[in-house]
Structure 1
Amino acid sequence: MRRRTFVGAVGGSTVAGVAGCLTRDSTPGGGDGDALRIATYPSMVEEGDPAGVWLKEAFESEYPEAEISWTVPENGINTYIERARQDAVDADVYFGLNVDELVRVDDSFDGQLFRSLERDRIEGVDRLRDDLTFGDPNDRVLPYDTGYISLVYDESVLAPPESLDALLDTEYEDTLITQNAQSSDPGLAFLLWTIAEYGADGYLEYWRALRDNGVQILDGWSESYFGSYAEEERPMIVSYSTDQVFHATGDEPDLTRHQIAFPNEQGYENPEGMAIFADSDKADLAADFMAFVLSSEAQAEIARRNVQFPAVADDHVELDESFAQYAHAPAEPVAFTYDDLRGNLDGWIEDWAREFASQ
């Protein structure tokens, strides 16, 4: 399950090294030599059994002359927008890019932060799922996994809401936890889901009704999930549809508080992608890394360690039985494309935050 906060919300604490090659926000000319410098978010390399550690070891085993150097920027993609303005980008690949972040790049930066891909140079792109597209007119990003934002609920307390409208019923008064759309990926995805459902002219009215029905808005996913929801303060939360995979341990796991609800049979699709920085002089090695990430073995490991769905078609990836049993996908995924968000995203978030961010 992806456990990261949104752009600009990463803290500045010290980071432990990953096989001696993880740095926090390294400076230009920082002595990485011929290493492929990959920027990512903290949980890719820092927590538990992260995918980043496996990717480094496996890629370097297959490419003995290569070395991966992970870096976790202080302020996510904003770090590289600012560095690009100063011609000081010190990374080759960005690993963990959402379509909304790509839109933020293009809405706030006049230059080209990422280069267009040479797809014929990247083995495995033909295996990518057709539905996982960033809609980028410049074709700069390849997905490597995807998740679906859904509702997770306690079946001993609630029946699953059949629609987003149902969340306004008295049955669901003071039951829902969500996250700040300014600082949380799931929070932003849920906001975009409501905009898709009610339109740019109607989503704020829906949120006012949610507020009247007692929705609780917390800053980040970790705070809301491992805090309020884990402490059983409320019986429903905006989270990931792979929640049961994360908790299904033992022969008879207790999943009472880990039931998945897809209102309107929908969930918000949120693919993660990888892109090569425009000024990188290691484009060939970066393409090799991308091809490796799309390999069947890497896709299976990323899915297991990130608790997300692979980006390549099912018949190319062998997942364990627990994933097949406990990972749920909505019948009707909802997603905005690049064109949908370009020029609109910041305004939607700002209008929402003006009324609800301090709830």
Structure 2
Amino acid sequence: MITVSRRFAVGAGALVAGATVLAGCTTGAVPAASSPAVSSPVDSPAAPTESKTLTVVTHDSFALSDALKKEFAASTGYTVKYVQPGDGGALVNQLILSKDSPLGDVVFGIDNTFAGRAVAAGVVTPYTPAALPESAAKLKADDSGRLTAIDFGDVCVNADKRWFATKKLAVPATLDDLTKPEYKNLLVVENPASSSPGLAWLTATVAAKGDPGYLDYWTALKSNGAKVVKGWTEAYSTEFSGSSGKGSRPLVVSYATSPAFEVPKGGTESNTTALLQTCFRQVEYAGVIAGAQNEVGARKFIDFLLTKKVQADIPGQMYMYPADTSVPLPADWQRFAPLAEQPFSVPAETISANRDGWIRQWTATVLG
């Protein structure tokens, strides 16, 4: 298994996770940002800022190969710091709370369920990479140009196949199956108020059951013993029986790609499977943080995330599909990590208008 991957990051919630990377010898070129660097703020007061340090703010499961991080630092000459305030939901919350004193220069990990909130709060500023792949452009959050799609994937329920085989119980397939008595006390989900996959899956239930029908569905899940935890790391790595944590629950909200990383060494079958009739299509974005001290560097980092090298690194490090769909995928993904043919979806503007209400209603219904 890969180390410190997007979906198996250890230790959520550290304010500063990841070391400072100092610039060294150049190991490869990084595309220049589409906007020129500033030579004098007096001559061009509205031009983008630049400094010797670049602070990258991400969710707590962000991961790229160390070699690529070093390559970016060496090519730009920046000292790069990585700050990870929590899950995707916590990330957006912290960006908003720190708006008057920004956490950093560039953010990665705002997803399509929280994108509207970030844009409405004005925590990111417009920037469109000059070399934006067409496939990434099609994944845009809205028409504001404030967020750039970097990767995407399906949030789905995952099942521990070995557990079900041992119990001689059929693996559930649909959302409705999860409310049946035979699956009582088997499911663990993430709180949508604090977790981006949790909110993504809540949105899937809204798409499937309607509003307010989704509340009846969650009432049924609650009655059937669904357990709620704060975030993905706790749900998958601690509570789920099919992961390294060897928890007690064989059903968990995770990603369609997760089974690709549960194939035993030398094995030909994954120990887990994704229920592809339960999925919501999630997109993750990067953006220049409003008030950035190094806006030039922020733009360069977004360009860097879209390079072929980084896009090819994303599947193995962050369990997501690259936004540039021309990049080859790992050989076993077609077998173990297929995307849902018909994922549930809700328009971004609908999510933006209703997200807070859905969360409040969900909290009152499920947590009481």
Band the TM-score falls in, shorter-chain normalisation:
0.7 to 0.9
The correspondence of residues 204-353 of structure 1 with structure 2, limited to 5 A, is 204-230=215-241, 231-252=246-267, 255-256=270-271, 258-263=272-277, 266-280=278-292, 282-313=294-325, 316-353=326-363
What is the deviation of 1:354? 1.3
Q: Deviations over 1:32-89 (max 9, x none)?
A: 9422221112332xxxxx316444212234x2434433223475232332332x3x22
Q: CA deviation at 1:94?
A: 0.8
Structure 1 CA distance, aligned partners of 2:239 and 2:77? 47
Alignment pair present for 1:202 and 2:213 = yes
Q: Find the counterpart in structure 1 of residue 154 from structure 2.
A: 148
Superposition deviation, residue 104 in structure 1: 2.6
Quote how far apart the aligned CAs of 1:298 are: 0.9
**CA shift at 1:172, angstroms?**
2.3
Residues 176 and 281 (structure 1 numbering): CA distance in 2 closer, same or farther, change over 3 Å? closer
Q: Where do residues 58-77 of structure 1 align in structure 2 (5 Å cutoff)? A: 58-61=71-74, 63-73=75-85, 76-77=91-92
Which letter maps to 2:252?
I
- Return the alpha-carbon distance in structure 2 between the equivalents of residues 129 and 162 of structure 1: 33
Q: 2:52 matched to 1:40?
A: no
- 2-side partners of 1:246 and 1:339: how far apart? 34
Query: Partners in 1 of 2:148 and 2:316 — Cα distance?
Result: 19
The one-letter code of the counterpart of 2:61 is S
CA contact (8 A) 1:38 1:70 kept: yes
* Identity over aligned pairs, percent: 26
Residue 135 of structure 2 is aligned to residue 124 of structure 1? no
Residue 82 (1) aligns with residue 97 (2) = yes
Q: Please identify, of 204-213 and 167-176, the stretch whose mean Cα deviation from structure 2 is larger.
A: 167-176
Distance, in Å, in 2 between the alignment partners of 1:280 and 1:234 is 43
Unpaired segments ≥5 residues, structure 1: 22-31, 45-49
Measured after TM superposition, the shift of residue 309 of structure 1 is: 0.9
Q: C-alpha root-mean-square deviation of aligned residues, in Å? A: 2.8
Q: Displacement of 1:13 after TM fit?
A: 6.3
CA distance in 2 between counterparts of 1:4 and 1:89 reads 28
The Cα offsets for residues 228-280 of structure 1, whole Å up to 9 and x where unpaired, read as 22335232221111112222242215633x122122xx511111110012333
Count of aligned pairs between the two proteins: 325
Q: Please say if residues 184 and 221 of structure 1, whose CA atoms lie closer than 8 Å, have aligned partners that are also in contact.
A: yes
Deviation at 1:144, TM superposition (A): 0.9
| Contact 2:188–2:251 (Cα < 8 Å) also in 1 | yes
Q: Which runs of 5+ in 2 are unaligned?
A: 24-49
Amino acid aligned to 1:125: P
Structure 2 Cα separation of the partners of residues 114 and 52 of structure 1: 26
Whether 1:185 aligns to 2:196 is: yes
Partner of 1:19: 21
Tell me if the contact between 2:57 and 2:108 (Cα under 8 Å) persists in the aligned partners: yes
CA distance in structure 1 between the aligned counterparts of 2:354 and 2:95, rounded to whole angstroms = 22
